[in-house]
Homo-oligomer: A and B are copies of this chain.
């Protein structure tokens, strides 16, 4: 039995389809400040999804754009000094406009410059933090850093820490792993959609952060529900792509095609969502 009747698995499946429909109709403008490895990939993922990406990451423009964008993604994968300044400019500017924003703290804990920046950015209350287990642990000041950009600890190792972090930021924390764990500090959702090939292409997680940004820009939903929809849609597209793939190269191509062909009904039918408690009350 859940406190919030909307937070149940079958409802979330239906709502995920509805939100994809809403996204297709509204074509949200997503400001993408991301790392040098995944700029092209993230932009193509957003276009395939039906959103409108723009990488405005120059000082003097990042703040202007953040005021008019529907959502902002900040990914700390290659945070050169100019981009760090642009990130701060964008995050502060979006505050006045109330723009939702997503923080993807790539390799936080393992590398000092981004760790300091990410910690400071927590004060700006990211609407969603999308990260792997090690990054969530590091952001919360606990746990071992990974050696590289990939997680070494299971998602379950960070559940309590993620709940606490979500309560601290007032937003959602989404941990990517074999199953993804999403929490707003009160309610929590597991998303089982996805495919292991996502870990064999670069930006498999980074692009998910961009998709989350597109979804949390939508109206008449909650951050947890919209974040869940993002993970479900991306994961279903990955499952479809994996069926047509001969390896990571053809998988990435097929993932773009699958995202572009995704319909609300496919989302409702394909969603594999679990909640911490049992199914819907009704």
Alpha-carbon separation in the docked complex, A253 to B245 (Å): 11
Pick from A13-21, A76-84, A187-195, A216-224 the stretch touching chain B. Answer: A76-84
Residues in B whose Cβ lies below 8 Å from that of A79: 58
Whether a CB of chain B sits under 8 angstroms from the CB of A43 is yes
Which positions 62-103 of chain A face chain B at CB distance < 8 Å? 64-65, 68, 77-82
Docked pose: A85 CA to B47 CA in angstroms: 31
A249 lies within 8 A of B44 (CB)? yes
Is A60 touching B247 in the complex (CB atoms < 8 A)?
Answer: no
User: Is B202 a contact of A43 with CB atoms below 8 Å?
Assistant: yes
Nearest residue (CB) in B for A81 is B82
The answer to whether A111 and B260 have CB atoms under 8 Å apart is no
The segment out of A125-133, A142-150, A168-176 that lies at the interface is A142-150
Q: Are A52 and B250 in contact (CB-based, < 8 A)?
A: no
A6 to chain B, nearest CB (A): 31
Contact B112 A60 (CB under 8 A): yes
Chain A positions 231 through 246: 1 when the CB is less than 8 Å from some CB of chain B, otherwise 0? 0000000000000011
Quote the shortest CB–CB distance from A211 to chain B (angstroms): 15
Chain A 9-35 residues near chain B, CB threshold 8 A? 29, 35
Residue of B nearest to A254 (CB): B249
Whether B111 pairs with A61 at a CB distance below 8 angstroms is yes
Q: Once the chains are docked, how many angstroms separate the CA of A64 from the CA of B110?
A: 9
Q: Is A261 in the interface zone, CB < 8 Å from B?
A: yes
